[in-house]
Structure 1
Amino acid sequence: MASQPPTVLFHYPGSPFAARVLYYLALRGIPYDECIQPNILPRPDLARLGIRYRRIPLLAIGRDVYLDTPLILNRLERFDPSSTTKPPFKSTATPSQHTLTTLLASYTLDTPLFKNVVCVLLPSTPLIHDEAFLKDRAEMLGGPPGFNFAEHFVLPARNDAIVEVKKTLEFLEFTLLADGRQWVAETQDPSLADIELVWPLHWLFSIPGAVPKEHITAEKFPKVYSWVERFEKAVGEARKGLRRPQTVSGEKVAAWLGKAGVEDQDEARVEQNDPVVKAQGLYQGQEVLLWPADTGANHKTKGKLVGFTSREITLDTTEGEVSVRVHAPRHGFRVAAVPVKAHLS
């Protein structure tokens, strides 16, 4: 039987976005290894692969590297590496459960919820005084000269953020969880719907002193707190008996991926009728730049275009010691051709 491709998660401890993927891997029992990254730039392990994208996490399955947690989870839903792995969540989800999962993912990712949680919890952590961290996050947001992440972004918004987070908890307590359900999609065990909703709240509740007790307590929101605790316990139970991930150096990961093959060819085409393809004249094999449209837009990954569809943008990196195939979601990412340098005769 052919050996399984290496599965490596690039992340740093405490990343709430990485936690989404870690929950998923645990609940499905998918074995993986990890390449721990600093929580600020630079990240030479990724530069070695020709990746300038600055957000965490990234997931490598063989030579395919996936950016952005929605795409990572989507790929894992198509991934069944061994007979010991639990089946993808979608295989047992009803249409209504799938719809709820999609809506909850949008609720946590496409609304100000995450920003509000950041503004509530960050002042209670040492990071609020960490100049290197504050400078890094200011650069990620693309702030003007003199922009201070704490003074100009977090602290002025904290009181309003508390109100907005409290509204989210009220919605969950008195609407979604009001009927006493154990899991948000009324499943027997935690599902992808729980993963999509729980991560910012688990992050908030797990940091000592982060929750403003005069506004948010387990007594005021017992169903929400019980659900988060239940989820944490379920993930802990799922991890028992699983192989502990090996912590791997960036050099070793690069060596692994350099020998690995491309596993995912599903989106390896350029859709010629796409309006962006038509407007920019994009074609397969063209040298392009790829970047996220919101935060971290200054960090563009260069490569040869492999695929451009309604779901994914795919390219082979060209600036690292090892070339990998990068997959980014179409939603929230941009591509532009690398300008061709004029040759003077």
Structure 2
Amino acid sequence: MSQLILHHYPTSPFAEKIRLILGYKKLAWQSVIIPMIMPKPDLTSLTGGYRRTPVLQIGADIYCDTALIADVLEKLAPAPSLYPSPVNGASRIVAQWADSQVFPAAMAYNFQPAGVADVFAGAPEAVVQAFVADRAAMRGGAPRMSLGEGTSTYKSQLRRLSDMLTEHPYLMGEVPTIADFSAYHPMWFTLERTPSVAGILDATPLLKDWMARMKAIGHGQHDKMKSDQAVEVAKNATPEDVSQLAFVDDHGIALGSEVTITADNFGLEPTPGILVAATKTRLTLRREDERAGTVHVHFPRNGFILKKVKS
């Protein structure tokens, strides 16, 4: 198996989700630290536009979005499973809820003034303003949830998650599933990155105990790699052959078409390329980059918009 290269930065909540999954599956990986905000020239050479964190690279194959990355890691290391029977479907539903509903409420709460002071302790004001502007651009100008709404929503979500732990140590039973890794990372940010506002967790002691169990999983074995080295890895590799994958046409767009793929709600930079695969669960673009060579960029179907480029 080619080496696993994770493009991330230490304070990224979604990256923490994948770092823990790598530790849970005992997979060795290479750590490439990327900037928190644009520009990200080496990452962009690989993805062609997608800039959300993290990104998983295996040779010349680039995997975007943690839902897809988790599926890729599951295929590489089926045991222990992120989707154990009989809670496979239910764990995916809870994971999607946590990523799309718990996370934004948690971050609206975390980024109150005291939390911002924790995250940017000692940083110049210009750094804070650059981060705020970058995240506003990622939202496409859409307003953030207010602190009041974030606080009340987050409290409600924490109570619901705590209720799932009254009978067993993890959300879906006796072992962690994708639901646990997805629910953990927003609370990880609260506890580890914004400790001044972490008192919100005191009302749910079962969750705090669960968080300690999740943290103990760790990140596994990893070594540092420079971002330009990762680009060179892609240049010297050949993407996986996707020509034999079953084509599922839900858009009326033929393979070989020039297309763009864009996230539907956050990080709205489009990725252009040639559509080379469309399965039930993922879309794959072929891209040519001067530095990275020929790469395949893979996206999950859920949460992304496929459009044909008008000639």
| Shift, 1:160, TM fit | 2.0
Q: TM-score, normalised by structure 1?
A: 0.80
Q: Name the residue aligned to 2:191.
A: 205
Q: TM-score, normalised by structure 2?
A: 0.88
Counterparts of 2:59 and 2:246, CA distance in 1: 20
Structure 2: runs of 5 or more not aligned: none
SS of equivalent to 1:110: helix
User: 1:333 and 1:115, CA in 2 relative to 1: closer, same or farther beyond 3 A?
Assistant: same
Q: Name the residue aligned to 2:81.
A: 89
Of the candidates 202, 205, 215, which is equivalent to residue 222 of structure 1? Answer: 205
Of the candidates 96, 105, 120, which is equivalent to residue 116 of structure 1? Answer: 105
Q: Name the residue aligned to 1:291.
A: 262
User: 1:172 and 1:261, CA in 2 relative to 1: closer, same or farther beyond 3 A?
Assistant: same
Q: Name the residue aligned to 2:170.
A: 183
Identity among equivalent pairs (%): 27
* AA of the residue aligned to 1:224: L
SS of equivalent to 1:190: coil
User: 1:119 and 1:249, CA in 2 relative to 1: closer, same or farther beyond 3 A?
Assistant: same
User: 1:50 and 1:15, CA in 2 relative to 1: closer, same or farther beyond 3 A?
Assistant: closer
SS of equivalent to 1:35: strand
Of the candidates 219, 236, 239, which is equivalent to residue 262 of structure 1? Answer: 239
Structure 1: runs of 5 or more not aligned: 81-85, 145-151, 341-345
The count of residues paired between Structure 1 and Structure 2 equals: 301
Q: Name the residue aligned to 1:68.
A: 65
User: 1:267 and 1:294, CA in 2 relative to 1: closer, same or farther beyond 3 A?
Assistant: farther
Say whether residues 1:39 and 2:54 are aligned partners: no
Q: How does 1:1-345 map to 2 (within 5 A)?
A: 4-49=1-46, 51-80=48-77, 87-89=79-81, 93-95=84-86, 97-111=87-101, 113-123=102-112, 124-126=115-117, 130-143=128-141, 153=144, 157-173=146-162, 175-179=163-167, 181-187=168-174, 189-211=175-197, 213=199, 216-218=200-202, 220-233=203-216, 235-236=217-218, 239=219, 242-243=220-221, 245-263=222-240, 265=242, 268=245, 270-272=247-249, 274=250, 276-277=251-252, 282-297=253-268, 299-322=269-292, 323-340=294-311
SS of equivalent to 2:224: coil
| Shift, 1:49, TM fit | 2.4
User: Which structure has the bigger radius of gyration?
Assistant: 1
* AA of the residue aligned to 1:335: L
| Shift, 1:74, TM fit | 0.8
* AA of the residue aligned to 2:8: H
Q: Name the residue aligned to 1:343.
A: none
SS of equivalent to 2:223: coil
Task: Report runs of 4+ in structure 1 exceeding 6 Å deviation.
Answer: none
